[in-house]
Amino acid sequence: MIADVVLGLQHGDEAKGKVTHQLCAKGNYTHVIRFNGGCNAGHTIYHEGKKFVTHHIPAGVFYGVESIIGPGCVIDPKQFFKEIEELEEAGIPASTLVSVAKNAHVITDSHKDEDSKDTKIGTTKRGNGPAYRDKYDRKGIRAQDTPCLKDFIIDIYEELYSKPNVEILFEGAQGFGLDIDHGDYPYVTSSHCTTAAALLNGVPPQAVRNVWGVAKIYETYVGAKRFQPDDNVFDTIQKVGEEYGATTGRVRQCNWMNLNTLKKAVRMNGVTDLVLNKMDVLRSVGQWKVYNNDKLLEFKNEEDVKSWITSHMHMSSTQLSNIYFSGDKDRI
C-alpha cells in the first residue's frame, strides 16, 4: 500500500482540488479518499474546459478513479445526491465511482438549522459542526444507518486491504490554519486538517510516500474574525484573484503570506512537496510582500521573493523536497 496526501496549509481555499485533480491525471492511483470535513468544503476544478465545484465528491471521479468519502467526513445526503446528478449530467460517471465509508456520519436538517443561527464563528452554516459534535457525543447517525445511502456504502478496511497494489491519494478539506487543535481557536473548523487525520481513515503511517501541502502566495480567510488590514491593495487582490468563497460566496479577507505559520504547517505535516498558488495575482498587482518574524518584508520582483521563500523553506524543513510556484488556475 502506498498513500499520498493533499492538504491545505492556510485557511482553506488554497486550490487543493486543483492539485488533487492534476495528481490524478499524472498518477496511478486506485483510490482517492476525502478524509475530513463535509459540504463546508468547496473544491474548484477545471476539467476539459469546464468548471466544477465539488463539496463532497473526491476529485478522482474526473479520471475514473474509485473515490471514497472517508469515515473522517460528515455527509449531507441531499448535497451528495445533488453533486452526483450534476456530475452525471456533465458526463462524469460519479454514481459508479463514488462510495461512502459506512462509519462516516450524516448531517441532518436539524444540524443545518442549528448551524444557521451561528453569528460568532462565521461558519458556512452547512451543519458540519453540530454533526461532528453529535459524533463525539456518540449520538450521531452513521451512513450505514441511512437508507438513501445504502447503494454507496462500503467497509473501508475491506476495500483497501482485500486488493493488491493499492495506491491512495488523500484529499483534504479546509486548511491547517483552521484545524480544530492547531488553528486560531475558536475561529476553526470542526475537524482535523492534518496528515495525521488522513491516516485515521485506515492507513498506517509507513504507507505515506509524499505529502503535498498547498498554499497561496498571499493568504485568505472567510469567517467572523478580523483578518484583512486597512490597505486598498487587498481590495485589488480580492478582485484580481476572484476571492469569493466557493461554498458560501462570501468575500474572502486577504493578507500577505506569513512565512512563520507556513513553516509550522510544513513541519507539523511532514510536507514533501509545497505548492504556492496565485502567483499570477501578485504579478498583476505588482507587489511582493511576506511577513517573517512579525516584520513585513517587501521584495523588488517575483524572482527575488521566489528565491527568498525557497531558501528559507528548505532551511526550515529537511523533509521538504520540492517547491512549485503556480500562476495557473488548472495546473500546478
**Model confidence pLDDT, tens digit, residues 77-130:** 999 999 999 999 999 999 999 999 999 999 999 999 998 887 777 777 888 899
Residue 289, helix vs strand vs coil: strand
Residues of the chain with pLDDT under 50: none
Q: Where are the alpha helices (DSSP H) in the chain?
A: 16-26, 77-89, 94-97, 109-115, 128-136, 156-161, 195-199, 232-240, 259-269, 279-285, 302-316
Active-site positions read 13, 43
Beta carbons of 62 and 24 less than 8 angstroms apart: yes
Cα–Cα dist 37/261, whole Å: 22
pLDDT in tens, 171-210: 999 999 999 999 999 999 999 999 999 999 999 999 999 9
Beta carbons of 281 and 240 less than 8 angstroms apart: yes
Q: Domains of the chain by range and CATH? A: 2-325 (3.40.440.10)
pLDDT at position 324 is 97
**Burial group, residue 111, by CB count within 10 angstroms (0-12, 13-18, 19+):** buried
Pairing state between β 43-47 and 322-325: unpaired
The beta-carbon contacts of 160-166 under 8 Å, at least 24 apart in sequence, are: 160/1, 160/31, 160/202, 160/203, 163/30, 165/30, 166/1, 166/2, 166/30, 166/31
Report which of 194, 217, 156 is spatially closest to residue 15, judged by C-alpha positions.
217
Question: What type of residue is 298?
Answer: E
pTM of the model: 0.93
pLDDT at position 329 is 78
Beta carbons of 43 and 246 less than 8 angstroms apart: yes
Cα–Cα dist 17/43, whole Å: 5
Cβ neighbours around 150 below 10 Å, total: 12
Beta carbons of 199 and 208 less than 8 angstroms apart: yes
pLDDT at position 44 is 87
Grid cell in block for residue 265: 504547517
Sign of the dihedral through C-alpha 219, 74, 56, 78? negative
Cα–Cα dist 32/201, whole Å: 12
